[in-house]
Amino acid sequence: MLKTAKKNSLGLSKSPADTRVLVAMSGGVDSSVVAAKLADEGYDVVGITLQLYDHGAALAKKGACCAGRDIADARRVADTMGFPHYVLDYENRFRESVIDEFADSYLAGATPVPCIRCNERVKFRDLLETAKDLEADCMATGHYIQRFEGPAGAELHRAADPARDQSYFLFSTTPAQLDYLRFPLGHLKSKAETRELAAHYGLPVADKPDSQDICFVPNGSYAAVIEKLRPGAADPGDIVDLEGNVLGSHEGVIRFTVGQRRGLGIGGTAEPLFVVRLDPDTRRVIVGPREALASRTAKIAEVNWLGDHRFEDGPAGGWEVGVKVRSTRPPKPARIHPEQGGRATVELLDAEEGIAPGQACVFYAPEGSRVLGGGWIQRG
């Protein structure tokens, strides 16, 4: 009787030396530790860094990934640990798949999340195919999220460290992608453990600060980027209350997001006002009291379902889940009602403030840490 080969730390029935792993390396400490750890364990590691945009504009900007110095840092890590490292030019793909939609979404009054689209359309699609072309057995990243083998296949779970959990940004990972991906940092209890590992391996990025901004948005100025990409985008308009009364003026809808309170430029009101919705067609920013932000329902599209049963075959009362409508908020109890064409209606048990078109709505199991997928919030 033949014995089944013992599985390695990546869950594959091969020895580490016979297992090729492509590691997506941003040049930061997280992905560097993943590459170093796997190389130290004897895996056949290949490091890949993506050049996503023009470095001439990025070299002087702090706090962003994939700039020129980050590529150099990734190369230094590869040299330190003795594995090959390559840089792939993905500028055109990134522009077409991520940046253009980012600009157009803001112009349409939505609040996009480009990091999710980058994972979905570039890293976990194009780069994953490159990994297969290189005959890699799997692809590993430095994301803080966990992958477990369940009775129906690979499952996505929140990271062990709630403060570092990145499940909101990875909800669109498909079952086929999840089968191929690995997340070696998801079980760590804190970022301090990651930095300790970096120091242990003698990595030159051990003390490198975390990136904070979206990589192509200098200093967090979304409006400046959009104006550069779409000249004339910052047309002025009116700030109005819920009855349509003009309270002030603005210098472009792209400068506002749903739920915003500061920077409205209107004073003398009896109560604090918040951006309730944006109307790009009339160039109006509609404001109202905080209670006007509350909503119990949301329409979503492009649903990606990671449950064990077909999404459309849910119970009569809808799927009972927890949902996050912003990355910084905890999951709230809800029911998901499937509709045709990958759409659904989300019914929250308690009203949630600031549900904004363009944001992700991510589904979680009512108990435990499992991620069940998600979709994109549409204009109501």
Task: Tell how strand 370-377 and strand 360-364 pair up.
Answer: antiparallel
**65 is an active site residue:** no
Report how far Cα 65 is from the mean position of its chain's Cα atoms. 14
Choose the catalytic residue: 66, 115, 118, 138. Answer: 118
CA dist 246 and 248 (Å) reads 6
Element spanning 9, H or E = none
Q: How far apart are CA 217 and CA 224, in angstroms?
A: 8
Contact yes or no for 283/235 (Cβ under 8 A): yes
Is 66 annotated as catalytic?
Answer: no
- Concatenating the DSSP letter of every residue in 147-192 gives EEEETTEEEEEE-SSTTT--GGGGTT--HHHHHHEE-TTTT-S-HH
**Both tokens assigned to 93:** 């793909």
Task: State the Cα–Cα distance between residues 222 and 46, nearest whole angstrom.
Answer: 34
Q: Return the closest-CA partner of residue 329 out of 299, 288, 361, 298.
A: 361
Give the DSSP letter string of 230-282.
Answer: STT----EEEE-TT--EEEEES-GGG--TT--TT------SS--EEEEEETTT
CB-based contacts of 370, cutoff 8 Å, min separation 6: 155, 156, 157, 158, 364
Helical (H) or strand (E) element with 84: none
Cα separations (Å) of 38 from 17, 139, 175, 188, 322? 10, 11, 24, 15, 34
Q: Give the chain's end-to-end CA distance (angstroms, integer).
A: 61
Catalytic residues: 118, 215
